[in-house]
Amino acid sequence: MKKGLPLLIAVGVLLAALVATRLVGNRYLYFAGYVIFQYVVLATAWNILGGYTGYVNFGTAGFFALGAYTATVLILAFKAPLPVQIVAGGLVSAVLGLGIGYLTLRLRGVFFSIATLALALVLQTFVMNWEYVGGAKGVSIIRPAAFPPFASYVEFLFFVMAALAVVSAMAAWWIENSWVGRGLAAIRDNEEAAECMGVPTLRLKLLATVVSGCFMGVAGAPFPYYVTLVEPVSAFSLDYAVNSLAMPMIGGTTTWIGPIVGAILLSTAQQVATVTISSELNLLIVGIVLVAFVLLAPQGIVGLVQRLAGRRRA
C-alpha cells in the first residue's frame, strides 16, 4: 500500500494533466501551469542537495540555463526533438554538477554556496559572448507544429513539464526512502560523524549534486520552445535561484512533498500577482513569505502540519 501510493498519485497527476488539456480552453492557464510544474522540478531538484544534504546551492539559474542552452544548441544545429533536448540538457547539467561538486564539496557549508553563485555568473558571461546562440540579444526559436491529442504545442509542453515534475518527485521519494537518503541525512546532521560511521560522504554528496543538477537541466531544456526567444537575462534570471531555494524552505526541506507544496503555493501566488497586480511583485512576495516562514514556521508547512498533528495526538 505505502509503496503503491506514490505511483498511484503519479499516474493520477499525469491523467489529470492530460484531461485538463481536453477541458481547459484558456491558453494562459497552460503557460501558468507550465511554470508551476517547472518550479516543482526545480524546487525538488534543489532540495535533493539543499534539503536532504544541507548544501545550499545559489546557482540554480546556472544549471537551469545550461539545460536551456543545451536545448537551444540542439535545435539550432540539428533540429533535435524535445525528448533528446531534455535528456541532453539533463546530462550536461549533471556533468556540471559532478564538476562543481568535485571541485568544491571538499569545502563545507558556505564555501560551496559561494562557488555555485560564481558558477552561474561565469556561465552567464560566457553565454552573453557566445554568438552562435545569439549572445546578449538572444535567439528566436520556432515551435514545431502541434500534434494530436494536443490542440497547441504549449499544451504539449504543459503535459511534458507535468511528466517531468512527476519523475523528479518520484526520484526524490526514492532517494528519501533509501540508504542514499539516510546517508544524506547523516551528512546534513553531522558530516564528521557520518564519516566515522563509514558513510561514503564524498560519493553521496557527488551523487546529490549530479542528480540535483540533472533535474535542474531537465527543467530548463523545454525552455526555448516555451519562451521562443532565448536570451541570457531571462534564462539566468535571479528568480530561479531565489524561488527554488525559497519553495522548499516554505514547504519543508526534509520530505519530498515539501518542495512540491512550496512550489505550487508560491508559484501560483506569483502567477496570480503577475496577472492582477504586476510581475515586479514576484520576488517581493517570495521575500515576505520566506521571512514569515523563517520566523514563524522554520520547518516549513510540512513541519507545521506534523507539529500540529503531533499535538493533537498527544
**Which of these segments, 8-16, 44-52, 163-171, 186-194, binds other proteins (CB under 8 A)?**
186-194
Q: Could you give the C-alpha distances from 202 to 105, 108, 190, 206, in angstroms and in order?
A: 7, 11, 14, 6
Among 125, 189, 278, 287, binds other proteins (CB under 8 A): 189
Q: Is 56 in the site for other proteins (CB under 8 A)?
A: no
**CA-based end-to-end distance of the chain:** 26
Please answer whether residues 1 and 9 qualify as being in contact, where contact means their C-beta atoms are separated by less than 8 angstroms: no
Q: Is 84 in the site for other proteins (CB under 8 A)?
A: no
Q: Is 195 in the site for other proteins (CB under 8 A)?
A: yes
In this structure, what C-alpha cell is assigned to residue 97?
Answer: 554538477
Q: Which is nearer to other proteins, 23 or 314 (CB)?
A: 314
Among 125, 140, 178, 190, binds other proteins (CB under 8 A): 190
Among 197, 238, 284, 309, binds other proteins (CB under 8 A): 197
Q: Is 177 in the site for other proteins (CB under 8 A)?
A: no
Q: Is 249 in the site for other proteins (CB under 8 A)?
A: no
**Which of these segments, 20-28, 113-121, 163-171, 196-204, binds other proteins (CB under 8 A)?**
196-204
Q: Is 309 in the site for other proteins (CB under 8 A)?
A: no
Q: Is 186 in the site for other proteins (CB under 8 A)?
A: yes
Q: What's the closest the beta carbon of residue 202 comes to other proteins, in angstroms? A: 9
Q: Could you give the C-alpha distances from 77 to 74, 137, 284, in angstroms and in order?
A: 5, 19, 39
Q: What's the closest the beta carbon of residue 298 comes to other proteins, in angstroms? A: 12
Q: What's the closest the beta carbon of residue 58 comes to other proteins, in angstroms? A: 23
Binding site for other proteins (CB under 8 A): 179, 182-183, 185-186, 189-190, 192-200
